[in-house]
Structure 1
Amino acid sequence: MHIGEHECYINSSIGIAIYPDNGTNSETLLRHADSRMYEIKRNGKGRFEFFEDGKR
């Protein structure tokens, strides 16, 4: 994307937690999704992953 004279690159890392398998309230779902997102960021960025119990 270009903003004025600057060329900008954007990527995202997304962690996904699914109700009710990964939690039954918003706090738990968010915590699990965040844990996947931060793991992705540590290992390469620019991907998405689903939360899985016991996965680090």
Structure 2
Amino acid sequence: MPVLSAVAVDPVPGGEDPVTVTVESVDAMGAVLRVWWLRPRASPGLIAPAGGVQVHVTAR
């Protein structure tokens, strides 16, 4: 199995909502990644699925 690294590219530098990437599964055919917006506590829901975010993925 490869060692996998995934880093979200901030679509709005200096924006207020950070993003995070989770690696859900990895196998010989590919990987499943999910990107989430992290919301302030005052917002409904602490995390929300993010769209339109680029992710840099590297494997060894």
TM normalised by structure 1 equals 0.27
Q: Which has the higher strand share?
A: 2
Which one has a bigger Cα radius of gyration? 1
